[in-house]
Structure 1
Amino acid sequence: MTAPPLTAIPFFSPGTFADDRDALLDTVREIGTGDAQKFILGEHTARLEQELRDRLGAADVVACSSGTSALALALTALDVGPGDEVVVPAFGCAPLASAVVEVGARPVFADVDPVRLTADPAAVEALVTPWTKALLVGHLFSVMADMPAFRALADRRGLRLVEDSALAQGGTLAGRPAGLWGDAGVYSFVPVKTFGMPGEGGVVLTGDAELGRAVRMLRNHGQDGVHRFVHHRVHRGVGRNSRFDEVMAAFQLRRLPGLEDRLARRTRICDYYSRRFAGLAGVAAPPVGGDGRFPYVYTVLADRRDALAAHLAAHGVTAHVYYPRTLPEQPAFAPFAPPGARWPNAERAARRNLSLPLYPHLTDAQAERIADAVCAFADESGEPR
C-alpha cells in the first residue's frame, strides 16, 4: 500500500491567534462601541506603554505604527540627519539601512561576526569617521549582538547607539533586556514576532526620559499632547504620523500575561533542535541556551542550503531563507556601497542561512519530525556526524 502523504508543517503558524479570536472580536466591539470613540493613542495605548515600562525598567516606552517607523523616529530624536553617517550591519533586515536613508543620513555597511551574524565591533569601529553620528546595531535570528562592546565603543567615540531589537523581545544580556543597551531600542509587533499581533505596530524604548518625550512628540505630527495643532520641530526632524491603534493596544494587553509561557515554549523547541543538531557536519546550529539568546527564529547555516531546503520540503517541512542577499547587494542600498567593497562574512551568511519552523503551537511530534529530517539530510549526504 502507498503511504498517505505527509501533512506539511508550515514555516509560519496558521494558528497564531486561533485561541484569541473571541478576545479580538470582543476588543473590537469594546473599542468600537465605547463612549470615548478613541481609536488611536487612547487609554489602552497608554496602559500598554506603562506595562512595558514596568516590565523592562525603561524610562519610557513609546508605541508607534511599526518597528520600522520606530527606528526612524529614534534616529530623528537623536538628531541624526543629512550629512551624517550611520554604521549598520551588512547582513540583516532592510530597515537597518532604510531607516537611515529615510532620515537623510548615509548608511555605512560593516561586516558581521561569523558566528553571531550580527555586526562585528572591530569592523564597525574601523568605519568610524568624523562624519559618523551613530551606530545602528541589530540583533538577528535568535542571538543578541555584542552590546557591551558596542556600548563601550559608542561611549569611547562619542557616538549615539541605536539598538534594532525589533525581533528580540524576551532577550537579555548580562541582565539587561534587549532594547535597553542603546540610547534607544525598538520592538516590532508584526504577527510573526515573539509578541506579535494581528496588525502593524512597535515601540521605541529608552532609558532616557527626555529622548522618550521627543519620540512621543515626533510620532504624532510633532504635537506635544497639550497644545493640539501646534507642531514642534525636534532637532532636525519634524513630526509624522506613527500612531498606535487602540484595538491592537487592548488586544496586546490581554495577551501580555501569557508572553513568558509562549517564550518558554519557543525556547524549549530551540534547545531541542540544538541538542539534535550538535555535531552535524555541514550544518552549523546555535548552541543550547546561553546569555543573549532569545527564541524568535531558529536558523542553521548549511553548506548546501538549497539542497537542505529541498530535502525538508520533500519531507513536508517548510523552511525559510530570510536574507538571501546582503544589504549592500540590494538595489535600494547599492548606491551607498563603495565600489568593489566586500563583506565576506555577510556574503557567506546570505548563502548559508536557513530557518526552521518555530512557534508555540508547534507540537513535540512536529519538532521531532523536523529534527529527524535535518539529521537524515546529513546522513544521506554521506557526511560524518
Structure 2
Amino acid sequence: MTVPTATASIPFFPPDLFETDREALLETVYSIGTGTEQKFILGERTARLEEELREGLGAGDVVACSSGTSALTLVLTAMGVGPGDEVVVPAFGCAPLASTVVNSGARPVFADIDPLTLTADPAAAASLVTARTKALMPAHMFSFMADMPGFRALADRHGLRLVEDSAVAQGGVLHGRPAGRWGDAGVYSFVQVKTFGMPGEGGVVVTDDPRLARDVRMLRNHGQDGVRRFHHHRVGYNSRFDEVLADFQLRRLAGLPARLARRAEIAAYYSERFAPLADRGITAPPVGGDGRCHYVYAVLARRRDALVAHLAERGVGSHVYYPRTLPEQPAFAPYAPGGARWPRAESAARRNLALPLYPHLSDAEVEHVADAVCAFAHTDDTEDR
C-alpha cells in the first residue's frame, strides 16, 4: 500500500463526487429535456422516487421537496406552528434548526447537547418545556443519531409534536428503526455532500400521518392539491422536486447501501487509530454502536487550529462545521435568554473538526489522514497548553 506523500491533496469536499455518474446524468438531462411530455417538476420520476423511498423505509408516505430546509418549513407549517409557539431545538447545529422556526413566527428554544453524540439532550430539553411549547425538533449530528426514544417519550408525555431532523442521517438505524421514522415527521436532505447527495438541492418529508402528508404535498406546490390546478387550499410555497434529479437519484439508489458501508468502514478505521489519543487532546467517536450514521467524521480537538494547520501541511483538508452555537449567532441571539449558557454546545463549537469521509477515498488516502492526525497528537504540545 502506497501512502500519499506530504504534497498529495486529499480535499475535504471532493470535486469529483459524481465523476462516475457523468454519463448517466447527461443521459438523464437529454432524455427529459427532449421528451415530448416536457415535465420538469413533480412528474412520474419524482413519484417513483417517493414510492421507492417509502417502501424502503416502511413509511406511510414520503413527499419530495426542494431542500432539507424546505422540508422542515413545510412540516412546521403543516403542523400549525406559528406566532406564540415555542419549538425546542439543539443549541449546536445548522442554521435551519432555528431559522425555520423563526420564519414560522414561532420562537426557537435552545437545548444543550450530549457531550459524546453532540445531539440535543432530552433531559436538557425537558427542562425547557412550557405551556407555549408546540414541538420538539432534535437533529442527528455528524455520525450519531439523537436519543429519539428519549425525545419520543418526552413528546408523548407533554402532548407535543416531534419533528426529527434526520437531514444528515439517511441510512442510520436506532433500535431497529430507521432515521426519519421516529417523529411525527422526519426529513432528509439530498444536497451534494449528504449520504444520498446529488448535484443540486432536494429533500423529502417522511411521515406516517396521512393528513400531515396531504398538507405537505399541498404546501410544496403553492397550496394546490394536485387534482385541480390553480385551486389553492392553503397559502403555500414553491418547493417542488426536479425530474432530472429524481431520475438521477433513482439510478443511484441501489448503490446507496454500498456507499454507506464504505463510509462506515472508513469511520471505523479512523476510530480504531484515534482511540488512544484521548489523553493527548483528540477525542474520536467510538467504533460502531447502535444509532450510528456516517455523514461526517468529526473529532474534538483541544488544539483545533494547530491541527488544521498540521493537516493542511500534509495535504489533508478538514472542516469546522459550526464554530458558534446557534444562540451565539447574531441572527438568533435575540431569541436566547440574556446570560444563558450552553456549556457543552460551546465546547463542541470550540473543538469540533471534521476529516475527509466519502466513499471513493482509497485505503491509502484514509491511512494518510489517520497517520497525519496521530503524528500531530504525538508532537510536543507544551507551548499550547
TM-score, structure 2 as length reference: 0.96
Q: Which residue of 2 aligns with 1:269?
A: 266
Shift in Å at residue 79 of structure 1?
Answer: 1.3
Q: Which residue of 1 aligns with 2:199?
A: 198
Q: Which residue of 2 aligns with 1:364?
A: 363
Note if 1:279 corresponds to 2:276: yes
Shift in Å at residue 4 of structure 1?
Answer: 7.4
Q: Which residue of 1 aligns with 2:334?
A: 335
Note if 1:160 corresponds to 2:161: yes
Distance 1:114 1:4, change over 3 A: closer
Letter in 2 for 1:309: V
Letter in 2 for 1:246: E
Shift in Å at residue 80 of structure 1?
Answer: 0.8
Instruction: Map 1:70-109 to 2 at 5 A.
Output: 70-109=71-110
Letter in 2 for 1:250: D
Q: Please give the secondary structure, in 2, of the residue aligned with 1:142.
A: coil
CA distance in 2, matches of 1:239, 1:57: 28
CA distance in 1, matches of 2:201, 2:64: 11
CA contact (8 A) 2:6 2:313 kept: no
**Cα displacement string for residues 122-144 of structure 1 (whole angstroms, at most 9, x for unaligned residues):** 11010000000000110000100
Distance 1:4 1:211, change over 3 A: closer
**Cα displacement string for residues 86-118 of structure 1 (whole angstroms, at most 9, x for unaligned residues):** 010000000000110111111011111111111
CA contact (8 A) 1:111 1:345 kept: yes
Q: Please give the secondary structure, in 1, of the residue aligned with 2:374.
A: helix
Query: Percent identity between the aligned chains?
Result: 75
CA contact (8 A) 2:6 2:314 kept: no
**Cα displacement string for residues 241-280 of structure 1 (whole angstroms, at most 9, x for unaligned residues):** 1000000000000010100111011110000000000120
CA distance in 1, matches of 2:111, 2:258: 36
Q: Which residue of 2 aligns with 1:181?
A: 182
Letter in 2 for 1:257: A
Instruction: Map 1:81-160 to 2 at 5 A.
Output: 81-160=82-161
Shift in Å at residue 188 of structure 1?
Answer: 0.3
Shift in Å at residue 7 of structure 1?
Answer: 1.5
Q: Which runs of 4+ in 1 moved over 6 A?
A: none
Letter in 2 for 1:242: S
Distance 1:4 1:368, change over 3 A: closer
CA distance in 1, matches of 2:260, 2:180: 17
CA distance in 2, matches of 1:5, 1:174: 42
Q: Select which of 234, 255, 270 maps to 2:252.
A: 255
Note if 1:347 corresponds to 2:355: no
CA contact (8 A) 1:15 1:361 kept: no
**Cα displacement string for residues 144-186 of structure 1 (whole angstroms, at most 9, x for unaligned residues):** 0000000000000000000110010000100101011000110
CA contact (8 A) 1:172 1:292 kept: yes
TM-score, structure 1 as length reference: 0.96
CA distance in 2, matches of 1:118, 1:62: 26
Q: Please give the secondary structure, in 2, of the residue aligned with 1:299.
A: strand
Shift in Å at residue 382 of structure 1?
Answer: 5.6
Letter in 1 for 2:245: M
CA distance in 1, matches of 2:70, 2:381: 47
CA contact (8 A) 1:13 1:361 kept: no
Letter in 1 for 2:254: P
Shift in Å at residue 210 of structure 1?
Answer: 1.9
Letter in 2 for 1:340: G
Shift in Å at residue 5 of structure 1?
Answer: 5.6
CA contact (8 A) 1:186 1:204 kept: yes
Q: Please give the secondary structure, in 2, of the residue aligned with 1:215.
A: helix
Q: Which residue of 2 aligns with 1:48?
A: 49
CA RMSD of aligned residues (A): 1.1
Q: Please give the secondary structure, in 2, of the residue aligned with 1:21.
A: helix
CA distance in 1, matches of 2:6, 2:335: 49
Q: Which residue of 2 aligns with 1:374?
A: 373
Q: Which residue of 2 aligns with 1:15?
A: 16
Note if 1:288 corresponds to 2:287: yes
Q: Which residue of 1 aligns with 2:314?
A: 315
CA distance in 1, matches of 2:198, 2:210: 27
Shift in Å at residue 381 of structure 1?
Answer: 3.2
Distance 1:294 1:301, change over 3 A: same
CA contact (8 A) 1:87 1:107 kept: yes
Q: Please give the secondary structure, in 2, of the residue aligned with 1:86.
A: strand
Q: Please give the secondary structure, in 2, of the residue aligned with 1:20.
A: helix
Letter in 2 for 1:321: V
Q: Which residue of 2 aligns with 1:220?
A: 221
Q: Please give the secondary structure, in 1, of the residue aligned with 2:260.
A: helix
Q: Which residue of 2 aligns with 1:299?
A: 298
CA distance in 2, matches of 1:213, 1:70: 14
Say which is worse superposed, 374-383 or 177-186, in terms of deviation. Answer: 374-383
**Cα displacement string for residues 283-314 of structure 1 (whole angstroms, at most 9, x for unaligned residues):** 11001111100111100001111111111111
**Cα displacement string for residues 311-352 of structure 1 (whole angstroms, at most 9, x for unaligned residues):** 111111111000000000111101101111100000000000
Instruction: Count residues with an aligned counterpart.
Output: 377
